[in-house]
Structure 1
Amino acid sequence: MTRPAGRPAGRPAGRTAGRPEGGRAGRPRGRLRRTLLAGLVAAAVVLPVSAAASPDVPAPAPVAFAEHTALPDRYAGNRANLAEAARMAQDAGRTGRAAKLRAMGADGTARFLAFDGRGKGRAVEVLGDLETADRVAVLVPGSDTTLDTYQRFRAGAVALQQRLQAEHPRSAVVAWLGYDTPGTVSTTVLTADRADAAAAELGPFLVRLGQAAAPHARLSLLCHSYGSVVCARTGTGPQVTDIALFGSPGTGAGSAAELPTGARVWAGRGGADWIGHVPHVRLGGIGFGTDPVDPAFGARPFDAGPGGHSDYLKPGTASLDSLTRIALATAAPTTPEVPRA
């Protein structure tokens, strides 16, 4: 999620006449309503412009693979589909998208488990040798991650893979843009609808991924921003040993124990991450409730350093070090200072 135009309004200086002094239950509700109102007003302006500027992009249908297609054949088929999608986008006058697609396949060796160039697009890319990896980290992105912003997402995956390789050569990273992410300034980012649809895709994918990796491989889910809502709704089997939630707006669950997983659950937030100022409350189907870095949630805390919302996977950061250790199953809980809203 990229930072919205403004932070939620703070507590008003005065009190409404007759309002009880101890009205604690009303204050979070009021803050959330003001936040939602600001978002909806911005969406009314931004979304029609975005829709007009970004119509559906023509592209071939995804390649249909047989269930046990060998990984090299799958990679080759998706590279060919990617090249055709770039050609079609260019022919349709969508030069910006065409350039981004060409960049995705520039070196001719990209390893995509899945690719769909239509509309906002989807892509699932492997960094490393999946067939020999016994540590596999699956990155799940947040809002506004599309084929048009893919290189930004991929840069984090590359940084993580480089750190993993330095410590454990038999490792791989999977950049999982396997769902239609919500827009940061939209009504969809305030609910779990997109996350529920994504979780229905991610759960079976993790099963297949475990079968494709080396025997007894350990999988970890590293989930950023709205992606943490996705991961919190994804049922996982025993191969998923760790789930890390970072830059999270909440999960919709009251505690880590409520998540449909037996994995260790970690949570961290950078000291300058604006999402810490978003009210962690839930009203009906809007909002995501308990802050995962709150000790009451019950997740294992990890050191996310002083960075902002988009800094977690930047080289040289404490957060990247922590996420590397989580992916390698060598992390120990820390007690960092937790930034509060």
Structure 2
Amino acid sequence: MATRPQGSCLRRLLPATLVAALVAGPMTGVTRPGDVPAPIPAPTTPLAGATPAALAERYAAGRAEILAAGRTAARHGHHWRASRLREMADPARRFLSFDGRDGGRAVEVFGELSSAERIAVLVPGAGVDLDKYGLVRGGSMRLQDALGDRSAVIAWLGYATPSSVSLHALTPGRADGAAPGLRAFMGELRAARPGARVSLLCHSYGSVVCGRAAPGLDVADIVLFGSPGAGVADAAALRTPAVVWAGRTAGDWVGGLPHLSVELPFVTVGLGGDPVSPGFGARIFAAGGGGHSDYLTAGSTALASIARIVSGRADGDA
């Protein structure tokens, strides 16, 4: 939705968002994640079904790609990355796919996907890459614990996330590039586990990715949390039959951003309406206190609410 006058909107949007990004995601380290070389992964074939045998084959292929990326990183002197990749290659971990290039892509399963009746797919936001993947992994593990037996959580780091301190984080461009991959993965998952209840969980800039991928997706819920916007004016514009949920912790800096979108000749600046505002039309879940990275913290109100939604136990506003 375009907003006028453009100059006034940009003066409001750019400084506030950049300041928040500087606070939320300061630059660390000397080597950027995208500077670490990695081999081109072998093509993966879609899952014919989520049987233990089919999954074991995919997990073995994912582990092989991680080991190859680790060897390449070590050969080029990136020993810290090589060490992290050796940890990721633990045979107990389960990756449906992996690509170490350009900051990294990884799709990891927590729980038994072959028997899961409830599946949550978690899409992370800006600033998440292989060097910061532990944040996504920790939240996924805590959510899977909260969901209990016959559930699975899939961490979908399937795109090059924008840096928290960049103009890319102010536009839907990276989300536009990520959405086809997310749609393809969700279709593959639905075909492999046709009877499962699937929810799409979207944190921060991941909400924009989900918003771009949402039309027609066969999921029960789309859950937006810590969201600067979903790239649309309201929930109806997502064009989804899913129930759309939104929540924000009391201490999340995203609440201080101007929620708008400005159409310029060659780019859209801004990420759309505020998902927790009444006019957006989402169901609101209780998120409690905490900050932008605290939604899946153990014992948190937000974690309990999201687990109820994924389980299908949320009635009305959670």
Same fold at TM > 0.5: yes
| Residue equivalent to 2:206 | 227
273, 296, 303: which one aligns with 1:290? 273
Q: CA deviation at 1:290?
A: 1.4
Q: Select 1:275's aligned residue among 251, 254, 258.
A: 254
CA distance in 1, matches of 2:127, 2:275: 22
State whether residues 20 and 253 of structure 2, in contact with CA within 8 Å, keep that contact through their aligned partners in structure 1. no
Alignment of 1:236-247 (within 5 A): 237=216, 239-247=218-226
Q: Which fold has the larger relative contact order, with Cα–Cα distance below 8 Å and residues 6 or more apart in sequence? A: 2
**Long gaps (5+) in structure 1:** 1-23, 336-341
Whole-Å Cα distance in 2 between the matches of residues 279 and 238 of structure 1? 29
Q: Deviations over 1:233-253 (max 9, x none)?
A: 113546301010000001221
Secondary structure in 2 aligned to 1:114? strand
Amino acid at match of 1:188: H
Structure 2 match to 1:16: none
Aligned equivalents of 1:112 and 1:145: distance in 2? 17
For 1:162, the aligned partner's letter is D
Query: 2:34, 2:103 within 8 Å by CA — same for their partners in 1?
Result: no
Contact 1:206 1:236 in 2 (8 A): no
Aligned counterpart for 1:183 among listed residues 163, 168, 176: 163
Deviation at 1:39, TM superposition (A): 8.1
Runs of at least 5 residues in structure 2 that lack an aligned partner in the other structure: 49-53
Distance 2:65 2:17 in 1: 40
Counterparts of 1:1-341 in structure 2, within 5 Å, are 30-35=11-16, 53-54=32-33, 56-68=35-47, 70-106=54-90, 108-165=91-148, 169-213=149-193, 215-235=194-214, 237=216, 239-284=218-263, 285-334=268-317
Percent of matched pairs sharing the same residue: 49
- Report SS of the residue matched to 1:327: helix
State the AA in 1 paired with 2:288: G
Letter of the structure 2 residue corresponding to residue 305 of structure 1: G
- What secondary structure is seen at the aligned counterpart in 1 of 2:96? strand
Q: How far apart, in 2, do the equivalents of 1:81 and 1:74 lie?
A: 11
* Deviation readout 1:108-144 (Å, 9 max, x if unpaired): 1211111011230100011111121121000000011
Q: Are the aligned partners of 1:207 and 1:237 in contact in 2 as well (CA < 8 Å)?
A: no
Instruction: State the superposition RMSD in angstroms.
Output: 2.5
1:256–1:93: structure 2 CA closer, same or farther, 3 Å change rule?
A: same
User: Does the Cα contact within 8 Å between 1:269 and 1:293 map onto a contact in 2?
Assistant: yes
Residues 128 and 119 from structure 1, CA distance in 2 versus in 1: closer, same or farther, beyond 3 angstroms?
same
How far apart are the structure 2 equivalents of 1:81 and 1:26? 47
Contact 1:234 1:260 in 2 (8 A): no
Output the CA distance in 2 between the equivalents of 1:238 and 1:143.
23
- For residues 226 and 275 of structure 1, the distance between their equivalents in structure 2, rounded to whole angstroms, comes to 11
1:131 counterpart SS class: helix
Q: Which AA in structure 2 matches 1:258?
A: A
Q: TM-score, normalised by structure 2?
A: 0.88
Maintained 8 Å contact 2:142/2:298: yes
Counterparts in 2 of 1:99 and 1:216: CA distance versus 1, 3 Å = same
Amino acid at match of 2:252: D
| Runs of 4+ deviating beyond 4 Å | 24-29, 36-40, 49-55
TM-score (norm 1): 0.82
Which deviations, in whole Å up to 9, do the C-alpha atoms of 1:210-235 show, x marking residues without a partner?
Answer: 1222x411110010000001111113
- 1:258 Cα deviation (Å)? 0.8
Post-superposition offset of 1:78: 1.1
